[in-house]
Structures are given as structure tokens and as C-alpha cells.
Structure 1
Amino acid sequence: MTIMTDAGVTVRWRGGYGRLWSAAVLSRFGDAVRNVAFPLVAAGLTTSPFLLSVVSAAGYLPWLLFGLLGGALADRVDRRRAMWTVDVVRGVLVAAFALALALGQAHLAVLAVLAFALTTLQTLFDNAATAILPTLVPRAALPSANARLMTGQALAGTFLGAPAAGLLVTAGVALPFAVDAATYLVAAALIASLPRPAVGVSVRPAGSTLRSEIAAGVRRLWRDRLLRGGCLANLLGNLVIGGLQALLVLIITRWAGASDVVFGLVLAAYGAGGVVGGLVATRVGRWVGGGAAAMVLALAAQAGCLLVIGGVPHPAATAAALAVFGVAGMVVNVHFVSLTQQRTPDDLLGRVSSAERTLGAAGAPVGALLFGALAEVTEVNVPALAGAAFLAVSALVVRRAARTERLDDETVNRGV
């Protein structure tokens, strides 16, 4: 089977891309199942809000501590081998915890350690996965390949994994973790079967250290105006999303006046929007003239959505705005990842992507605290209005970066 992209480049589904897609979608299904069960298990082990927040923080902290290191390692090692090895280790860890749950030996400290360990391993896996895709498909086909990958993950996580988790939990609290462990091991087998010639290991200069290699990746990101602008926009976007996630239940129920049943339907609208966004992302890029322009349009649309969410107190308006917000968010993600892959040399891609992810990861907790404090002293809808301003700034940042780079290219082409 082949996929014809908008650029007229053919992607072979039966080659490495199809196996990578299958592994990523299967892993997302397992992650969604585990992510639903995780807080339920934690709440059964303690009633302390502080201890529950510690477990949650343990799942985010590794990106700040080890994100850059994970990118440097992804550029040093055989990425295929690193990915399947990480999946095997994660499968064993989750299986061991499932066994502990089944035997009644689970403790909150073990849950926190598991969350920390899984995210630590993810820092290597995700950066290696970003870097490996350009070795499996032509660079011109990356937006289409990324869109299909992210759409499959959104479908598996939102519409398959999350509902399945509820059924599995009722059958036994250990069962979701056993299923997650199995998905890791199957995904590892799929990744291990990727064609070896598609994956290369960069040759390091004599005397090179991890610190100097990380610095080289950060410098590469900083010197690329477009990626630097996209990275700043990503930071502001994660700040807004982190704040919204913390307050969304209050915005939907208290401000928009939705019942508990309607609350779930409103959230489902966001997930559906993400799937639609994956289906139309490459078309949007073609219509507006490229990935950077698509990002500007999508960020501006997200700003408008937050104005509706914060300004119209009605569940239907909130659901519609969240759906469009999800569409636009997927468009931003597809094109930012694709631009990073297209504009970064293969031997630096792990480090550049890790720098983007690490900076972006810092935005969510800051946003949760900032928007929470703002809601405390104003009204619960005000943070959504503030978020609109942040996203409008993000759109302007990307637009300016793209325009500056275009002017520089025109100057070079004229020989000035």
C-alpha cells in the first residue's frame, strides 16, 4: 500500500513507516488506558490532595531534568535499538506494577516512582521517534506522514483507549496496566523490525561530550529564526493549555453551566476536533502556502476560540469552541514537528527536538499556577480571555519569524 501526499511524493505504507505508525498508535492506546487507571489507583491509595499532586508532578518532572539529555542520547545511538529497548523496559516495569496491584502490594511511593521512570524513558523514546521518521519517508512527505501518525494516535487514545479503560478497570484494577504492558512489548517488536538501513548513527567528533552536544543542539535551534519563533509559540501555547486543563472543569460547569453529563460531551468535542485537525492539516498548509502560514492561522483561530470560551457562558458555545481549538491545535503540532524535521540536519534532530520539548514542558505547570492565581482573584472565565492574548502573541511571533526569513531569502536570491 502507498500513500500519495499533497506534494506528489509517495510514502510506502508497507515499509518502515507502516510499522512505526502501528507501533505509535498501539502505544498511544496503551498509554490512554493507563492514564485513566493511574489517578484512580492513586486516589485509592491516598485521600491527600498534596500526595496526589506529588504523583502527578513525578510524571512531568523528568522532561525538565532529562529532556535535553534524552535528545543528545537519541543522536548518539542507534535510534531503532534505543526505541525498542525503551519499550521493552517500560513493558516490564508496567507489568511488574500490574502484578503488585493484583497481589495487593501497591504503594503510593511505588506509583510515583513508576510515573517518574516511565517519563524518564519517554524523553529518549520521543526524541528518537521524532528523529527516525525522516529516515523512513521523504522529507517532502513529512507533513502528511506526521498528520496520519498524529491522527491515528488521537483516535486510539481518545476514542478507543479512554473508553476501554473504564471497562477494564471494572474488571480489575490491575488489568489496564497489564494491557499497557502488552502494548509496549508488541510495539517493541514492531520497532525492532524496522529496516536497518533506514536508521543511522552520527559520528561524533573526537573529545565530544554530552554537554557540548546538547549546547550544539540548542545553538542550532536558536539560530533558526523560524524554529525559534515556533518554539516560543509552543511555550506560550503550553502555558495556556496547562492553565486551561487546570480550570476547564470549572469553566465548563460553573461558567458555562453544563451538567456532569454535558461536561463529558463538551470534552469529547475537543478530542473529535483533534482527529479532524489531523485529517485536514496538510490541506490547510497547502491552501495557505506552507507550514508556517498554517501555524499562524491556527494560532489565531485558537485565540478566537478562547474569546468564545471566556465570553459566551453556554455549553454549546464552549463545545464548538473547544472542537475548533482541537482542530487548530493539531494543525500547529503537525506543521511545527514537520518544519523541525525538514529544517534540521539528521545528526542534530534529536537534540533540537528535545530542546523544543523541554522548553514547552516548562510552560504547562507555570500556566496552571498563573491561571489558577488569576481565577482566584477575578472570575473563572478570565484566564481563558488572558489565554487568547497569549495565543495572539504566539501567532504574531511565528508570522514575524516567517516574514523575516522570507525577506532574508529574497535578499540572498537577489545577490544583495
Structure 2
Amino acid sequence: MVTGETGDGRGPGWCGGFGRLWSAAVLSAFGDGLRTSALPLLAASLTDRPFLIASVTACGYLPWILFGLLGGALADRVDQRRALWAVDAVRGALLACFAVAVAFGHASIGLLLALAFTLTMLQTLFDNAATALLPALVGPGALGAANARLLTGQRLASGLLGGPVLPLLLTAGAAAPFAADAATFLGAAALVASLRLRQPERAPRPAGSTLRREIADGLRTLGRDRLLRALCTATALCNVGMGALVATLVVLVTDGLHAGSTGYAAATVAYTLGSLAGGPSAGWIAGRLGRMRAVLLAGTVQIAALVVMGTVRSLTALTAALAVFGLMGMVWNVSTTTLIQQRSPAGLLGRVSSAYRTLAVAGAPLGALLGGAAATAWGPGGPALLTAAFFVLSVAALIPGRRLDVPVVGPDAATVAAPAAD
């Protein structure tokens, strides 16, 4: 397989393995955009109880807290390519069955909750395996560009394409978005299955090794690396704030600015457009500052944007602040993902990635509750200012690792899968 990657900082080639992985990720993200928009609508048509409707979204967080570490350990044990296409095939089959149930009027809130929980549980294995597989497809110098292209493509597909297509599909019936999502999963599975990689030579696991010990190894590796530890702490604090902001953004737009649903749509589109601009910007900023300083810059600029959101009562100011916030959020995500891949031992990358993700996402539900309390106590702008405070703590947590901007643990050549020639 010819991937066209280089070790000098240039981007990965589109032909070959990376192009197929990118296409699979974007196709799947398009389906995800359809499903995540359609599920709340379907839930609202089945019940008028807000708690049950919100529980469908909550099921997108809970499996990461319960199974995220296990997913990372499994990702390091199995053939990552096979894990990716197998998980997508299972998810496609589940959604196809669910679409049939919806079409014949057998959908229920219980079935929605079970579907959302199961899909996210499978995603814990998929996401960690994908993170661990990428370094086998592109050279070390192309990791940053590869992550930027993947994240930008996924945001474009889910944020700008999936949402507008949903109303068109709904004209064909409530089951249509889920049938389309099933098709995207199956198409993505076929693309990943077509990848040709030489099998990595995995070091045999020590006698008596268990999943619990392997998970502990990943946590210890994360904890011992000062830069990764700082990034994880900072991201966890950010996600508490993000939980507060996301849960109450509609309150800020509709009650604080009296902009209605049109204003809310404008705010979310501005955030998405900013994120898309952040993909190409991430490499340029990291090339001049280094990845760790790029993360510091992103967090600092986001604090300023949050202060504008919380204090300036103008829809124009809010959309501009959200665009900047989204741009710097993408710079943050690209840089942190690349640093995790660069600094983790290849045989531990799935576990380190899962430990990072699980610890980082755990605070989001708490943040949502804090956001509701802040809006009640301080008004619609309160949650944005609360989020700014958490971002200040996040930037402070990054300072100890600001000088550790080079990989200290390179992939072991004996454990990284090398691309095979087509």
C-alpha cells in the first residue's frame, strides 16, 4: 500500500490506506450526524417526559465512563483493522434492525436507550483502535496533518452535511435516517476491511496478565508522563466547562438574547464553521509554536471568547465568539491527539488513549448540572462565565508541561504495523 506519508511534517497521501481510513471516518460521521439529530426527535414523539428524552443523550456519555478503559485494553490486544470493520459491521446491523422496528411502529423509549447505550459502548473500542491504527498508516511527521484532516472531515460531514439532509430523509419516514446511518456504517466497514497492513509483531503478554493489569499499565503510563498528565487534567477541566456551556447554550440564545430558534441555528453553524477553519490552522500554529504551546494558545483564546459570550448581549458577538471558540477547539483537539500518539508506546497506545478519554469525559455530566445551576443563579450568561473559569484552571494545569514538546517515547519498530505494498 502506498500512503505517501513523510517524516518531515508534510501531510499524508490520499491514495492508499489513509485515504480509505479518512473516507470511512467521514462516511460514518455523516451517518452519526443523521442519527444524533434524529434520536431526540424520535424520543420526543414517543414521550413528553423531559427526563426520558434527556436520558437518550446521557447514554452517549455513560458507556465511556463504564467501559472506556476496557475498550482501550481490548484495542491493544486485537488486530485494530479487524476490530474497526467488525465494530462498524455490528453497528450497521443494529441500526438496520432498529430502522425496521421504527418503520413498523415498534420503537419505544426503552429501545432508544438500549440502542444509544450499545452504540456508544461499541464506540469505546472503535475510537481507541482507530487512534492506535493511524500511526501504522502515516509517518510520524504526518500525524498532525492526518489528525487535522480526519477531525475536519468528520466535523464537516456531521455538522454541515448530516443536519441539513435530515429533513429530506424524514419526508420518507421516521425510519429513513436510521436506515441511512446503517448504510454508512456498513460502507465504512467495507472501506476499513479493504486496508492491507502487515500484521504487527506483538510482544507476548506476560504470564498471568489480565485485562485489569493491562488497564492499570495504561493508567500508570499516562500518569508518569508529565505532559500527558497535564493534558488530561486540562481537558477534564475543559469538559466540565463544556458540559455547562452546551447544556445551556439554547438558554443563552433564546432567553438571554431573545434570538429564538433561528439565532440558535446561527450560533451552532458559526461554531461548526470555526471548527472547520481550525483544522488547517492547527498545523500552521503548531509549526510555529510547537504543539504544547498551540494548546496553551487555544485555551487562552477560548477564555476570551467565553467572556464575550457571557457578557456581551449581541447575537453577532455571540456567533463571532463561537466561531473563534470552535476554531481554537479544533487546534486543541488536533494537537492533543497527536501528542498522545507521539508520546505513547505503540503497544500501550490504545490503553493510554482510553485512559485519557475516559478521565476527560467523566466531568461533562457534572458540568451540565453546574451549568443549569449557574443559569438559575446568575442568569443566561452565567454558564459561559463559569466555563471560562474552568478554562482558566485548565490553562494553569498546562503550564508545567509547556516545555515538553518533543516525543519522549517513540513507537517500537517491532510493534508497529508497516504498510504493505499493493
Instruction: Tell me, in whole angstroms, the C-alpha distance in 2 between the residues paired with 1:166 and 1:200.
Output: 48
Instruction: Tell me, in whole angstroms, the C-alpha distance in 2 between the residues paired with 1:359 and 1:25.
Output: 26
Q: Which residue of 1 aligns with 2:157?
A: 156
Instruction: Tell me, in whole angstroms, the C-alpha distance in 2 between the residues paired with 1:56 and 1:272.
Output: 24
Q: Which residue of 2 aligns with 1:346?
A: 346
| 1:52 partnered with 2:53 | yes
Equivalent runs, 1:165-176 vs 2, <5 Å: 165-176=166-177
Q: Residues 97 and 239 of structure 1: is their aligned pair in 2 closer, same or farther, counting only changes over 3 Å?
A: same
Q: Which residue of 1 aligns with 2:360?
A: 360
Instruction: Tell me, in whole angstroms, the C-alpha distance in 1 between the residues paired with 2:89 and 2:255.
Output: 44
- More divergent stretch after superposition (9-18 vs 41-50): 9-18
Instruction: Tell me, in whole angstroms, the C-alpha distance in 2 between the residues paired with 1:316 and 1:65.
Output: 40
Contact 2:29 2:158 in 1 (8 A): yes
Instruction: Tell me, in whole angstroms, the C-alpha distance in 1 between the residues paired with 2:195 and 2:238.
Output: 34
Contact 1:76 1:202 in 2 (8 A): no
Structure 1 residue runs of 4 or more that deviate by more than 3 Å after TM superposition: 1-10, 198-202
Q: Residues 8 and 82 of structure 1: is their aligned pair in 2 closer, same or farther, counting only changes over 3 Å?
A: closer
Contact 1:6 1:283 in 2 (8 A): no
Q: Which residue of 1 aligns with 2:335?
A: 335
> Which consecutive unaligned segments of at least 5 residues does structure 2 have?
409-422
Q: Which residue of 1 aligns with 2:392?
A: 392
Post-superposition offset of 1:140: 1.6
| 1:375 partnered with 2:384 | no
Instruction: Tell me, in whole angstroms, the C-alpha distance in 2 between the residues paired with 1:10 and 1:313.
Output: 41
Equivalent residue pairs, number: 406
Post-superposition offset of 1:202: 4.9
TM-score normalised by structure 2 residue count = 0.93
Q: Which residue of 2 aligns with 1:81?
A: 82
Render the CA deviation track for 1:31-84: whole Å, top value 9, x for unaligned: 001111111111111111122122222222111110000000000000111111
Instruction: Tell me, in whole angstroms, the C-alpha distance in 2 between the residues paired with 1:2 and 1:341.
Output: 18
Contact 1:257 1:314 in 2 (8 A): no
Contact 1:36 1:162 in 2 (8 A): yes
Q: Which residue of 2 aligns with 1:412?
A: none
Q: Which residue of 1 aligns with 2:24?
A: 23
> SS of 1:106's equivalent?
coil
Post-superposition offset of 1:9: 4.1
Q: Which residue of 1 aligns with 2:245?
A: 244
Q: Which residue of 2 aligns with 1:307?
A: 307
Q: Which residue of 1 aligns with 2:189?
A: 188
- Counterpart of 2:32, as a letter, is D
Post-superposition offset of 1:13: 1.9
Equivalent runs, 1:58-207 vs 2, <5 Å: 58-197=59-198, 201-207=202-208
Structure with bigger helix share is 1
Contact 1:130 1:341 in 2 (8 A): yes
Instruction: Tell me, in whole angstroms, the C-alpha distance in 2 between the residues paired with 1:329 and 1:3.
Output: 28
- More divergent stretch after superposition (367-376 vs 51-60): 51-60
Post-superposition offset of 1:406: 7.2
Q: Which residue of 1 aligns with 2:416?
A: none
Contact 2:5 2:139 in 1 (8 A): no
- Counterpart of 2:15, as a letter, is R
> SS of 1:171's equivalent?
coil
Instruction: Tell me, in whole angstroms, the C-alpha distance in 1 between the residues paired with 2:341 and 2:386.
Output: 32
Instruction: Tell me, in whole angstroms, the C-alpha distance in 2 between the residues paired with 1:294 and 1:83.
Output: 30
Q: Residues 196 and 7 of structure 1: is their aligned pair in 2 closer, same or farther, counting only changes over 3 Å?
A: closer
Contact 2:243 2:368 in 1 (8 A): yes
Q: Residues 12 and 43 of structure 1: is their aligned pair in 2 closer, same or farther, counting only changes over 3 Å?
A: same
Equivalent runs, 1:254-333 vs 2, <5 Å: 254-288=255-289, 290-333=290-333
| 1:216 partnered with 2:217 | yes
Contact 2:6 2:138 in 1 (8 A): no
> Which consecutive unaligned segments of at least 5 residues does structure 1 have?
410-416
Identity of aligned residues (%): 54
Post-superposition offset of 1:8: 4.2
Contact 1:74 1:124 in 2 (8 A): yes
Contact 2:5 2:138 in 1 (8 A): no
TM-score normalised by structure 1 residue count = 0.94
Q: Residues 10 and 37 of structure 1: is their aligned pair in 2 closer, same or farther, counting only changes over 3 Å?
A: closer
Post-superposition offset of 1:128: 0.2
- More divergent stretch after superposition (45-54 vs 308-317): 45-54
Q: Which residue of 2 aligns with 1:413?
A: none
Q: Which residue of 2 aligns with 1:227?
A: 228
Contact 1:135 1:198 in 2 (8 A): no
Instruction: Tell me, in whole angstroms, the C-alpha distance in 1 between the residues paired with 2:244 and 2:343.
Output: 31
Post-superposition offset of 1:199: 5.2
- More divergent stretch after superposition (133-142 vs 372-381): 372-381
Contact 1:74 1:127 in 2 (8 A): yes
Instruction: Tell me, in whole angstroms, the C-alpha distance in 2 between the residues paired with 1:321 and 1:275.
Output: 15
Post-superposition offset of 1:373: 1.2
Post-superposition offset of 1:200: 5.7
Q: Residues 347 and 191 of structure 1: is their aligned pair in 2 closer, same or farther, counting only changes over 3 Å?
A: same
